[in-house]
Structure formats: C-alpha cells, structure tokens
Amino acid sequence: MDTRTRAVTPTRHLARVAVAGAVLALPGCSGGAPSALDPAGTGAERVADLWWVLFWISMAVFVEVMLVLGWALVFRRRRDATVRHGQPLRVVTVAGAGVPLVILVTVYALGLRDLAALGDGPGPRATTIEVTGHKWWWEVRVAGVSGATANELHIPVGEKVRIRLRTADVLHSFWVPQLMPKTDLIAGELRETWLHADRAGTYRGQCAEYCGTQHAHMAFLVVAEPRRDFDAWVSRLGAPAAAPRTDAQRRGQEAFVQGTCAGCHAIRGTEANGQVGPDLSDVGSRWSIGAGAVPNDGGHLGGWIANSQTVKPGNYMPPQPVDAQRLPDLIAYLQSLT
Ligand code: CUA
C-alpha cells in the first residue's frame, strides 16, 4: 500500500461523506423549488410518508452497520483471547440476513399498500383534463370543452381530477411534486393519472423525463381553487378570446390574423386557427413565456416574437420578420388576451 492511499483514514473518509451529505441536503431546505416532502395532496402525501419511512430505515441500517463494524474491529483484535466460536456466525446471520429480510418485506408491503392507494383514482363522473406533451410545452384541454390553453391547468380544490396524458412526439413525464408522483407520457398510448389538492394554491409541475434540449423549460402550473373559480376557468376555455379594445390592439389583431402567426397559433373567435403551436387565446394572463423560459411581460414577449431562438434555442418557432412598427401593436394585442 503506498502512502497516498494510506493518507485517507476511515475517520477522514467518514467526515467527507458527512460533508457531502450535508451539501446534498442543502437545496432541499433552501425553499423556492417545489418539494415532494412538502405535500399538498393525497397522492404526494403517500409518497412523502413512504420517503420518511425509507429515510428512517436507512438511518437505522447505517447505525446498525456502524455498530457491526465497531464490533468487527474489536473482535478482530481480541480474536484469539475472548470470542467464542459461534459468535461471528450468529452476528452475520442476524445483521446480514435476518434484519435485511424484515426490512425488505416491510418496505415491499408498504410499497404495495401505497401503489394500491395511488391507483384509487376519481370516479367515472369526475372532471377530466386532457394534457398533451409537446417539445417543449404542455397543451391543456378540459374534456367536452372546445378551447385549449398551455402550461397551466386548474383543478377544484378537495376533488380528485382525472388527468389523461398523451404525447405528440417523444417521451415526457408529468410531475407535480407537491401533488402527485410522475406519470410518463408514452407515444401511441393514453396514460392516466389524477390530481388532488388539500388546499388552494399554485403548484409547479415539471417534465421529469429528458426529452431534448429544452427539457428544463417544460414547466407548468397547477392552480387549485374553489369549485366556483374552477368552473369560471372552464367557461373561459370554451368562450371566444377577449376582443381588442384599443386601436393598437385592433392593428395587432389584424397583423396576427393576416400574418404568419395564424399559421401555427389559434385565437378563439378569430380566423387564426393554427394547430402547431399553443392556443394563444389567454396568452396575456399566462405565468411565463415558453413554459417557464422567461417572465410574461412586454419586453420578453417582443423578444420572443422577433426571435424566440435566442430565448429558447431549438423550439419550433422560427424567427418572425415582423415590421418594427407592428411589433408594439402585436404585443398590445397579445397582452390584452387575458
Ligand atoms: Cu418533456 Cu422533458
């Protein structure tokens, strides 16, 4: 053994592991990002409870291993003097086979129990929301309602809502850490999950399966609100978009409908009926542009229209040759669509 290997003593190695563990644990405490350990609905509560059980079992195993290690070190030194013949075998049997068997059976049983609970979805008459994953945004519809929106879905608080999942292209994964574990979207398959929120609030969701360069910018929001507000959201989805009220907005609408925008985007109640990109009927009220890429304000909207490739490289919207004089009108119109 050379001196470099010798330099890492077991104590020093343990200290390094402890520091690494503490550093890894830090982001979990920093707030901001949604945490599966801060559940707000039935599905995520199951997952969080199981997580804590696994955590405490891991802690117990760690302590057990350290005790056995200590015992082994002592035993090795006193090998010839005090330890009787059967003792090592008994320790290996109990600590190495008996305890793991009990742990594995317990965890397996708990896993089965939670799988069954997560499979207990909403009844046949529950509200159904249809979500389609695209590279890189989420199309959102309510079953039986004509309109669509993007990257935001609403649910009535306290009710189980069925979520039907499809993908328009590659694998994606629908995940709302505070409400429900992940469900993958698989090409050619109709998948189903459900959402339930105990308390009103806005919960961030994220695509959880790598799906290309802009996988990270495939975020969405789930707004859990009282039934009355949810019903209002559904009726807005079925209604025409807001009509322009100012001259600038009217010019913007004209530019949108007659220009290239309408080839890919729809705005309900206008002739724009493109089906390639997100429906923009409520784009003015959205929480972000580009599924979490940038904030939704005039500056970012203008930048996105002119050349979204500088904002979210690789997305399917090509740079738009919009007349510099028309751009403020387009922005005014799109911002009025709330
Ligand atoms: Cu979609 Cu990752």
By the 8 A CB rule, do 244 and 336 touch? yes
Q: How far is CA 97 from each of CA 74, 102, 103, 104, 122, rounded to the nearest angstrom?
A: 22, 9, 10, 11, 41
Closest to 42 in 3D by CA, of 157, 202, 174, 141: 157
**Alpha carbon distance 117, 268 (integer Å):** 40
Alpha carbons 104 and 101: distance in angstroms, whole number: 5
- Which stretches in the chain have pLDDT values below 50? 1-11, 14, 17, 19-20, 22-31
Question: Can you give the pLDDT at residue 96?
Answer: 80
Structure confidence at residue 82 (pLDDT): 52
**CA–CA separation, 162 and 210 (whole Å):** 24
State the closest ligand 1 atom to the C-alpha of 171, by its place in the atom list counted from 1: 1
Is the separation of the CB atoms in 130 and 141 below 8 Å? yes
Contact 177, 142 (CB under 8 A): no
Say if residues 175 and 181 touch (Cβ distance below 8 Å): yes
CB of 205 sitting under 6 A from ligand 1: no
Provide the pLDDT for residue 193: 96
> How far is the C-alpha of 286 from the C-alpha of 119, rounded, in Å?
32
Give the atom of ligand 1 at the shortest distance from the alpha carbon of 218.
1
Please give the pLDDT value at position 52: 95
State if residue 152 touches ligand 1 by the CB under 6 angstroms criterion: no
Residue 94: the pLDDT is 82
- Of all atoms in ligand 1, which is nearest to the CA of residue 216? 2
Q: Is the CB of 133 under 6 A from ligand 1?
A: yes
Q: What is the DSSP letter of 259?
A: S
pLDDT tens, position by position, 213-264: 999 999 999 999 999 999 999 999 999 999 999 999 999 999 999 989 999 9
The closest alpha carbon to 218, from 179, 261, 167, 160, belongs to 167
Q: Is 210 in the pocket of ligand 1 (CB under 6 A)?
A: yes
What does the pLDDT read at residue 79? Answer: 59
Going from the Cα of 275 to the center of ligand 1, the distance in angstroms, rounded, reads 20
Contact 153, 285 (CB under 8 A): no
283 pocket-lining for ligand 1 (C-beta < 6 Å):
no
Ligand 1 mean position, distance from CA 292 (Å): 12
Asked if residue 209 has its Cβ within 6 Å of ligand 1, the reply is yes
Going by alpha carbons, the residue nearest to atom 1 of ligand 1 is: 172
Whole-number Å distance, alpha carbon 25 to ligand 1 midpoint, is 25
pLDDT of residue 91: 74
* Pocket lining: 191 vs ligand 1, CB cutoff 6 Å: no
